[in-house]
Amino acid sequence: MGFEVTILGSSSATPVYDRHPTSQYLIFRDRHFLIDCGEGTQMQLLKYKIRYHRISHIFISHLHGDHYLGLMGLLSTFHLQGRNTDLHLFGQQELMDMLEMHFRIGQTKLRYNLIFHPTRHYTPEIILEDEEISVRTVVLDHRIPCTGFVFEEKPRPRKLRIEKLNELGVPISAYPRIKSGADFTTTRGLNVSNAELTEEPQPVRRYAFCSDSAYLPGLAEDIRGIDLLYHEATFMDDHSERAAATFHSTAKQAAKIADQAQVGRLLIGHFSARYKQLDGLLDEAKSVFPNTELAIEGSCFRVE
C-alpha cells in the first residue's frame, strides 16, 4: 500500500532559483498529510495537481516564517471553497495564537472544524496514533523551539497461507485468530503451528522529517533504522561555521546522522539561496552516506 512523500518546497529562508520554502506532501495508504507549509505551498499543490482538499492533518515543525507562512492562505482557501471536513493541525501553541489573531481581525469563522493539537518542543511525544500509523516528535536543536516528525506504520497481521488453510479445512471464522498468531487444531486433534499457516508480514515502514537543526549526534538514536530520512542540509562543509552560528547543518553533517542512525535512504533539502547548483551538496553528502538524494521539488519518494 502507498507510503510516499512529494517535495513541494526545498529552499531555506527565501524562495530562489525556482525553489520554494519548505513543505512536503505525505501519502500513507489513503491518508493525506502536509508537513510544514512555507509561503506558496498552495500554489505548489496546484502545480503538481495534488488534490489538496484530501489533506486531513498538517504538521508544523517550528515558527520561522519559511515553514508556516503559507498556512493562513491554505486554511482560507479551504474555507472559501466550502470545506466541511475536519482538519487537524499540529504545532506549538503560539501557532494557534497567531491564527486566531488573523481570524479575529479578518472576522472569519471557518466553515470546517480546525482541530488544534499543541506539541511540546522540549520532549519527544506521540502526537497521533491509531490502528494504522503512529506519529511522534523528535527534539531538534535550532535557534527557536523546533521538532521533527517520525511517521511509522503499525505492524501488519501475518499473511495467511490460503492453500494450506483450505487443505486443512480451516473455517473462515478462525482466520482472524490465526492472523493474530494463534495455532490451529484440526478436527482430528492435530495441532498445526502458526508458522505453517501464515507468512511474515511486510516489515513496517518509517519516514522521518528532520527540519531545521544544528548538527545533533544524539538524534541518531531517535531515528535509528528509519527507511527514509529527510534531513536539512542548508550549507556545504566549507560554511560549517555559518551553519553552526545559524543552528543549521551541512550536507556532510546530515550524511553523518544518516550513517550513525543506519537509515535506508537520505534526502537532503532546505538549501541555502547561495547555491544555484546543488551537485556540490549532493556529492558532499554521498562521500559519507552514498544512498543520498536531493529533495528536488516535484519529486516523489516511496518509503519502502
Hey, what's the cell of 301? 519518494
SS (H, E, C) 141-171: CCCCCCEEEEEEECCCCCEECHHHHHHHCCC
Cβ pair 229, 164 in contact under 8 A: no
Which of 199, 221, 250 is a domain's end point? 199
Sequence-ordered alpha helix ranges (H) in the chain: 41-47, 71-80, 93-105, 162-168, 175-179, 194-197, 219-222, 240-245, 251-261, 279-286
pLDDT value for 132? 93
pLDDT in tens, 205-234: 999 999 999 999 999 999 999 999 999 999
The answer on 163 and 93 residing in a single domain is: no
- Residue at grid coordinates 516528525: 149
pLDDT in tens, 44-69: 999 999 999 999 999 999 999 999 99
pLDDT value for 235? 98
Tally of structural domains, the chain: 2
The answer on 163 and 265 residing in a single domain is: no
Angle (CA) 245-249-251 rounded to 5° is 140
Full residue range of the structural domain in which residue 179 is found: 159-199
In the predicted model, residues of the chain with pLDDT beneath 70 are 1, 164
CATH number at 105 reads 3.60.15.10
The answer on 62 and 17 residing in a single domain is: yes
The answer on 194 and 60 residing in a single domain is: no
SS3 228: strand
Q: Hey, which residues are catalytic here?
A: 66
The answer on 190 and 60 residing in a single domain is: no
